[in-house]
Amino acid sequence: MNMNSSGLNINLIESYFEILKNLSSENKIKLIEKLSLSIKNPLPPLKSKSIKSSYGAFVSEKSAEELIEEIKSARTSNRNKEEF
């Protein structure tokens, strides 16, 4: 860990403390228990996915006209006005 990330972590910890210092003693103990468990049983690392996997061409056997008609027919409208 380099000097910059260490300083950032200290600032982050201080920020969390400012938020959490007003918790009741009981809630602080519960938080300590949860933090302790997270150290003893760390979560498995997240699988890194490329942002490129989140977008791409839409693939369908239907024509554009069929898709448009399907979308339009699925629309619902409620024109009832709410009274105040």
State which amino acid sits at residue 57. Answer: A
**Model's pTM, two decimal places?**
0.42
Burial of 33 (0-12, 13-18, 19+ CB in 10 A): exposed
* Predicted confidence pLDDT, tens digits, the chain (84 residues): 444 666 778 888 999 999 999 999 999 999 999 999 988 887 777 777 777 667 777 788 999 999 999 999 998 877 777 777
